[in-house]
Amino acid sequence: MFRFALLNLMISSALVFGVQPASAEHRLALVIGQSAYRSVPALPNPANDARAVTQMLTDSGFEVSTATDLSQNQMREQVSDFAGKVAASGADTVALVFYAGHGLQIDGENFLVPIDVDPKREADIPIQAVRLNDVLNTLTSVPSKMRILMLDACRNNPFPAINGSVGRGLAIVDAKTGSPNTFLSFSTSPGAEAEDGAGADSPYTAALLAAAKEPGLPIEETFKRVRLSVNKVTQGRQTPWDSSSLTEDFRFSGPPAAAGGSKPLPIKRTVEDWRRDLKGKPVEIAHDMIVADGTDAAYEAFVELYTQPPFAPQAREWLDRHRRLVAWNIAVITNTAAGYRGFLAQYPGGDLAATTRKLEERLRYRPNFTPAIVAGATPQNVALAAPTCPCNTQPPLLKKVDAPVKRVDPDPPRRTDRRPPRQVIETEEEVVVVRRPPSREYFEPMPAPSIGIGIGVGGFGGGGGNYGNGPIGQGRPRGAY
């Protein structure tokens, strides 16, 4: 009896104090480590990082798939298989991807680099590498509770053939734009490069392993600690960065968050708020506060209040680079010649200038369809502005109106000539030719269909399509539906 009581007590204690979260959610993870590059020097740490993160995630309740040294096809297969597992697991699944290896930005897009790439020119990277957006789109295409991507991929560009023509580090990816319930973490800030590290793991992975084991920390607090730790270890040379659109809480270890609770909205603090909080504090403490926060407002207030090295120059460099990368992201998203010229006018030098000029030049040969997208579009002005042939202009649809019913002979004579027969009335003075009046059945035009702003080429989108109405320009008789 005593043994059974002791066993029950041990089981209860394990359930209460266990490390793994007791949650109904299903956790799946894909871990990729790229070390053995073939055309450039190998990276020592990504394989180590993958093993260590696999163990950490397993301890956190994840079912982990781990793969190392993948070619392009193998990377795509791994991502596709992982998405299939997430889809089969159900909508209450937390899907996490950790990637360690090389990453590059080309024309404002981020690419994860397989081990078999061998680019001779910049245009080879989109063909030989894997777009980060493709990974994101694959994960968002299947139902899940949330998606977490951790990218230790901002190392230096190792390819001499393209090293001088592409931007440093990775471009900004905003999870709030098109990626709901997503958390993105980068090993350093946009436009900067991360260090592989001298230890068994990279500085980013080492900080992640330590912070994720802290019980009960929400994911945002976990990565605040990662930012601060990496910044200290690298003496300010590297500061991780993240973007979140999560609406629910997540914790790597410890008790789970309350089920069904919505995540409180973050409080947006102004520069003036940060001035009040930082004023009078020792520079080291003030610097730790802004690094953990990671916003422009915090850094701007810091550089106004503290001007001495080493912290002030580092903070100013971070702020200037982040503002430049935000402007670059806006120029890439809008993708207009005027937008690229505006970016060059504001930032004429730097590693993005050559790419900006190339993209602006490319747009000179792109047709301009913007006149068709105007405020207050009507069927008439959209048709006039359409970039296709005049057949885009659709006549108003016709609607048949009921006419009086006339009696018809059950067996009318067959006629080969469909014209109404002429009726001849003979008189003594003249011959009068009378033609029968046309049928009382007639058509009246329907109101023109409303067309929305989002009309596309050929009339798709908006409300102006011809769905279900037969050929364009034809009505259907009442009762023929």
Q: How far is CA 90 from CA 25, 95, 250, 384, 385, in A?
A: 9, 11, 17, 48, 46
> How large a percentage of the chain has pLDDT more than 90?
60
Is residue 177 assigned to a domain? yes
The answer to whether residues 110 and 131 touch, using CB atoms and an 8 Å cutoff, is yes
State residue 155's pLDDT score. Answer: 87
State residue 16's pLDDT score. Answer: 40
Checking if the pLDDT of 10 tops 80, the result is no
The answer to whether residues 435 and 396 touch, using CB atoms and an 8 Å cutoff, is no
Least confident of 7-21, 37-51, 177-191: 7-21
CATH assignment of the domain containing 48: 3.40.50.1460
Is residue 153 assigned to a domain? yes
Checking if the pLDDT of 466 tops 90, the result is no
One domain for residues 124 and 228 = yes
One domain for residues 53 and 132 = yes
State residue 418's pLDDT score. Answer: 57
Phi, psi of 48 (to 5 degrees): -65, -45
One domain for residues 226 and 290 = no
Residues 6+ positions from 269 with CB-CB distance below 8 Å: 293, 295, 297, 298
Least confident of 54-63, 81-90, 254-263, 338-347: 254-263
Domain end point (choices 307, 336, 365): 365
Cα atoms in the Cβ-side hemisphere of radius 13 Å centred on 423: 6
Tell which wins on pLDDT, 339 or 415: 339
Among 226-235, 264-273, 419-428, which range has the highest average pLDDT? 226-235
- Total tally of structural domains belonging to the chain: 3
Confidence of residue 188 (pLDDT cuts 50, 70, 90): very high
Is residue 254 assigned to a domain? no
One domain for residues 374 and 359 = no
State residue 9's pLDDT score. Answer: 47
Confidence of residue 261 (pLDDT cuts 50, 70, 90): low
Is residue 120 assigned to a domain? yes
Neighbours of 384 (CB within 10 A): 13
Is residue 19 assigned to a domain? no
State residue 481's pLDDT score. Answer: 37
Is residue 16 assigned to a domain? no
Confidence of residue 157 (pLDDT cuts 50, 70, 90): confident
Residues 6+ positions from 177 with CB-CB distance below 8 Å: none
- Spatial distance between the Cα atoms of 223 and 185, rounded to a whole number of angstroms: 8
Checking if the pLDDT of 338 tops 90, the result is yes
**Which residues span the domain enclosing 448?**
370-402+440-481
Checking if the pLDDT of 470 tops 60, the result is no
The answer to whether residues 193 and 155 touch, using CB atoms and an 8 Å cutoff, is yes
State residue 393's pLDDT score. Answer: 41
- Spatial distance between the Cα atoms of 418 and 169, rounded to a whole number of angstroms: 78
Residue 243: closest CA among 190, 321, 298, 301: 190
Burial of 284 (0-12, 13-18, 19+ CB in 10 A): exposed
Q: What average pLDDT does the segment 304-324 reach?
A: 95
Residues 6+ positions from 292 with CB-CB distance below 8 Å: 224, 225, 227, 228
Residues 44-63 have pLDDT tens digits of 899 999 999 999 999 999 99
One domain for residues 337 and 466 = no
Residues 63-115 have pLDDT tens digits of 999 999 999 999 999 999 999 999 999 999 999 999 999 999 999 999 999 99
Checking if the pLDDT of 467 tops 50, the result is no
Query: Pairing between strand 182-186 and 130-131?
Result: unpaired
Residue 112: closest CA among 203, 58, 173, 201: 173
Q: What is the pTM of this model?
A: 0.72
The answer to whether residues 154 and 103 touch, using CB atoms and an 8 Å cutoff, is yes
State residue 414's pLDDT score. Answer: 59
- Spatial distance between the Cα atoms of 247 and 241, rounded to a whole number of angstroms: 19
Q: What average pLDDT does the segment 318-329 reach?
A: 96
One domain for residues 387 and 474 = yes
Sign of CA dihedral 59, 61, 63, 66: negative
Sign of CA dihedral 353, 354, 359, 362: positive
The answer to whether residues 129 and 111 touch, using CB atoms and an 8 Å cutoff, is yes
One domain for residues 298 and 391 = no
Helices marked H in 337-466 — which ranges? Answer: 337-346, 353-362, 379-385
Checking if the pLDDT of 156 tops 90, the result is no
One domain for residues 313 and 377 = no
Domain end point (choices 346, 365, 384): 365
Confidence of residue 255 (pLDDT cuts 50, 70, 90): confident
Is residue 14 assigned to a domain? no
State residue 18's pLDDT score. Answer: 42
E strands in 245-314: none
One domain for residues 80 and 127 = yes
Checking if the pLDDT of 305 tops 50, the result is yes
One domain for residues 63 and 203 = yes
State residue 56's pLDDT score. Answer: 97
Checking if the pLDDT of 286 tops 60, the result is yes
State residue 416's pLDDT score. Answer: 53
Checking if the pLDDT of 472 tops 70, the result is no
Q: What angle do CA 426, 431, 436 make, to 5 degrees?
A: 85
One domain for residues 331 and 299 = yes
Least confident of 40-49, 61-70, 123-132, 472-481: 472-481
Q: Which residues, listed in sequence order, are joined to residue 96 by a DSSP beta bridge?
A: 29, 148
Residues 419-431 have pLDDT tens digits of 555 554 444 444 4
State residue 478's pLDDT score. Answer: 39
Cα atoms in the Cβ-side hemisphere of radius 13 Å centred on 67: 19
The answer to whether residues 43 and 103 touch, using CB atoms and an 8 Å cutoff, is no
Mean per-residue pLDDT over the chain, rounded: 79
Is residue 260 assigned to a domain? no
One domain for residues 47 and 179 = yes
> How large a percentage of the chain has pLDDT more than 70?
69
Residues 406-458 have pLDDT tens digits of 555 555 555 555 555 555 444 444 445 555 555 554 444 444 444 333 333 33
State residue 12's pLDDT score. Answer: 45
Domain end point (choices 365, 383, 416): 365
